Amino acid sequence: MKKIWKKVKQFLKKLFGKKEKPEAQYPLVFCYGNFPANNAVEDSEVQIKDFRMDSRYIYYSWAKNDLSRWGYAYTEASALACAFFFDEESKTWKGGKFEWISTSRLSRDMTNLLTGYGGWDSKKFLAAKKHGFCIVSKDRSRRTNLITD
């Protein structure tokens, strides 16, 4: 009877036990770039996709609408490009502003991030296994979804 009860407990733990969240569901902590936007709410009507990063640039594309939805002109760099890295220890996405961005720009140079702008730690960013990107309105009230590699 003890063996059966043990197996039932294992089964129940598997079924109802605490499950690990996908990384994209962990909190965003804006700690770099001198642009605290921790209260920015994701706008389901302005979404991005196709995150890609090389040694100098971050790339993305529009999945749903664009920054005109927030009242910004197509070529007007009025929103903030924000990069993140997943911090395994704290289970948070750490990052922040590294450049201004417009709808027309589907890539952004990471020079500011890599040279320490606004306290960025390029060693931590580059050493991380997971990276992310989102765009935040200049009033810090809205943001796109976080896209990750």
Q: Convert the pLDDT of each residue in 108-126 to its tens digit.
A: 999 999 999 999 999 999 9
CA dihedral over 33, 132, 72, 139, signed as positive or negative: negative
| pLDDT score of 71 | 97
| pLDDT score of 25 | 82
3-state secondary structure of 120: coil
**Tokens describing residue 80:** 């903030």
116-133 in b/e form (b: 16+ CB < 10 A) is ebeebeeeebeebeebbb
Please say if the pLDDT value at position 84 is more than 50. Answer: yes
Q: Alpha-carbon distance 104 to 86, whole Å? A: 27
Q: Alpha-carbon distance 49 to 53, whole Å? A: 13
Q: How much is the average pLDDT of 83-105?
A: 96
Q: Alpha-carbon distance 77 to 86, whole Å? A: 27
Write down the CATH number for the domain with range 21-148: 2.60.40
- In sequence order, what are the residues at sequence separation of 6 or more whose Cβ sits closer than 8 angstroms to the Cβ of residue 115? 122
Q: Quote the mean pLDDT of the chain.
A: 89
Interval 14-73: pLDDT, tens:
555 444 445 568 999 999 999 999 999 999 999 999 999 999 999 999 999 999 999 999
